[in-house]
Amino acid sequence: MKILFIGDVVGKLGRRAVAALLPKIKEDYEPDVTIANAENLAHGKGITSQTLKELLDAGVDFCTSGNHIWAKPEGHAILAKKDSPVLRPANFPEGAPGSGARLLSVGTRSVLVINLMGRVFMKEHLACPFRTLDAILAEYKTKKPNAIIVDFHAEATSEKNTFGLYADGRVSAVLGTHTHVPTADERVLPDGCAYISDVGMVGLKNSSIGVEYAGIVQTFLTQMPGKFEVPETGLAILNAVLLDIDPATGKTRSIMRIQQDCTI
């Protein structure tokens, strides 16, 4: 079973880059399902119905998210819909709209997708992601999914690495998101869990994690609030990982980073 996971898609440039590059990536690698982190779809923060439609029309099957998913009021309604194609982190407090885990049917097989957020250096007050993972795995144990994919949306590499080792042997992959910078530590852990600290992003290549450089550098130089612009055109980069999973065991055979550019 092959699963393609795309890093945080940032704004219109990111959406357009997915539309431009994903068809050929899918032709080349033939994934059974394609997942993307969508928390930055709408001008860098949050989602709307239109931006989500663009991503799904481009060939993405399902979406995860993170702390910015609440930035647009429309996103709350999207998450609250039954069978929404977007998850929010499962360890948000009770009462938050949406779901943090979903069992997807992929032909005759099933994939459990779990979305969790880390707590180190994050301002939100969330339940423990480690214990939340335990609870979700217990809830879905009788479903016997062929693969289990965790989007771990977190800041600290120490927390991400620890979480990956904690989940090893129980899930197929722990894929880090949030920092928008791809890491070179992709590997299969001893008990068959694929791991990477951060998949990366889809957005402006020569930028500050998808945002125009000019406004960001002024904030660093002066410590005054700057104007953060999310570009709509330019040289875009797409970061993703391709997983090859044994559906009989749920263990991952390999994880491969994908990085491609295009000018929009």
Give catalytic residue positions.
Answer: 68
Environment class of 220 (CB within 10 Å of its CB; exposed 0-12, middle 13-18, buried 19+): exposed
Cβ contact 178:152 at 8 Å: no
End-to-end Cα separation, the chain, in angstroms: 32
Could you give the CA distance from residue 42 to residue 13 in angstroms, rounded to a whole number? 10
Closest CA to 33 of 9, 53, 59, 64: 59
